Structure 1
Amino acid sequence: MIKLPQRVTMPAEIEQALGLDRPGTPRLLAWSILVGGGAAAATVRDLRIVTPRGETIVRSWDAVDQAVWDQDSQMLLVSWVGTRKNTPLEIQDDIGRLPEVVRERVQSSVVLAATVPMPRGKPARVALRRDPEGRLLAQSLLPPGVKADAPEVKSVIDGALADLWAEAGEQGLNAGAPPAL
């Protein structure tokens, strides 16, 4: 007889702190306690964090640029779209495979992506991602020091995003015209 792992339940105070105790809350996929207090949880719609300092962060998967896991330090470093600020999560007790679930959810939000060479430097990244309602949205992630409104940058990024929208339409991933860039 195969013994299945026992389902671990989240303590009520953590569930409440993460806002998972209300009706209509998205389904919980994984969660972990953080060193120094706080917790992080992955739901089908978003990543929810209460930091050891008490800051609450709730962001949908399309707002997470990337999450890098370091097994040795038990640190999950979350980078956000639209900011250079990262959120380090030092996992105390990885009860529910949080790092793996975060990686899977971020990757599943990316529909199409491309790397775009930039003048004088590191490449930019452009992507079409699904928001929690299933709509496609365009994102461009520029390297430090590159200004989005610089004419040579804007035209390259706009062209790369137009190519992704065209590819999405050809593959039937996009219901309708792309939004104005």
Structure 2
Amino acid sequence: MSWWRSIFGNRADRIAVPDGLELAAGERPVAVARDNADGTVIATTYRLVAVPADATTPTLARPWHLVDTGAWRPETQVLSVSWVDHEPPSAWELAVAGALPVAFRERVQASVVLVEQVSLGRHRRARVAVRKDLATGDLTVQAVYARGSDPSDQELATAVQEAADRLGEQAGLGDGGGSNSAGRSPVSD
């Protein structure tokens, strides 16, 4: 038995998603949890979705490759997420977490193709990653500057660009992802 089945089993037929939630072709729910406001948080194969109680329209539907960090705190039952594009962080206090924390981690990791840390000193750091949009298969090079690092620091920016070029070449993007429609996303934390 694979580790996936041992954790999740055959859940596709048992997962209750809110009526009217539209899933893309090939998209399926992986794990579902209820939050303390009776809303639903769903990890699908392509994205993280949150639907408030008594609603059919999601308040959040973001692809996995836009997750920067996530944290599961079992003592408080809180799942929190920050985003690489600096959208406001998201957090849910879950009434019943189920397999959502494990599915969250697995889906984020599935979107990571390559990662390189750039460090030129304590406040001169960044993380460069090639991430995959799990819905389309498109690759994007992302650069996330560490808290306190200055993206206008020319030496750091050059090192980040060199890392992006290396990773982009390894991933078959040629020029570090600069010509990809999703492109390179330099982000500072």
Q: What band does the TM-score fall into relative to the shorter chain?
A: 0.7 to 0.9
Gap change, CA 1:25 and 1:89, over 3 Å in 2: farther
2:108 pairs with one of 102, 106, 109: 106
Deviations along 1:122-171, whole A, 9 cap, x unmatched?
62111001112112110011123433344223211101111212333xxx
Give the secondary structure class of the aligned counterpart of 1:72: coil
Give the aligned partner of residue 86 of structure 1. 89
Give the aligned partner of residue 179 of structure 1. 177
CA contact (8 A) 1:118 1:124 kept: no
Pairing of 1:116-155 with structure 2 (within 5 A): 116-121=118-123, 123-131=125-133, 132-155=135-158
Give the aligned partner of residue 74 of structure 1. 77
- The Cα of 1:100 is off from its aligned counterpart by 0.4
Gap change, CA 1:31 and 1:15, over 3 Å in 2: farther
Give the aligned partner of residue 115 of structure 1. 117
Gap change, CA 1:36 and 1:138, over 3 Å in 2: same
How many residues in Structure 1 have an aligned counterpart in Structure 2?
166
Counterpart residue type for residue 70 of structure 2:
A
TM-score by length of 1: 0.78
Residue ranges of structure 1 left out of the alignment (5+ in a row): 169-173
CA contact (8 A) 1:82 1:141 kept: no
Deviations along 1:9-39, whole A, 9 cap, x unmatched?
416xx343xx23x674721111111112322
Gap change, CA 1:76 and 1:127, over 3 Å in 2: same
Distance in structure 2 (CA, Å) of the matches to 1:77 and 1:15: 25
The share of aligned pairs that are identical, in percent, is: 29
- The Cα of 1:179 is off from its aligned counterpart by 2.9
TM-score by length of 2: 0.75
Give the aligned partner of residue 171 of structure 1. none
* Structure 1 stretches of 4+ moved >6 Å: none
Gap change, CA 1:143 and 1:51, over 3 Å in 2: farther
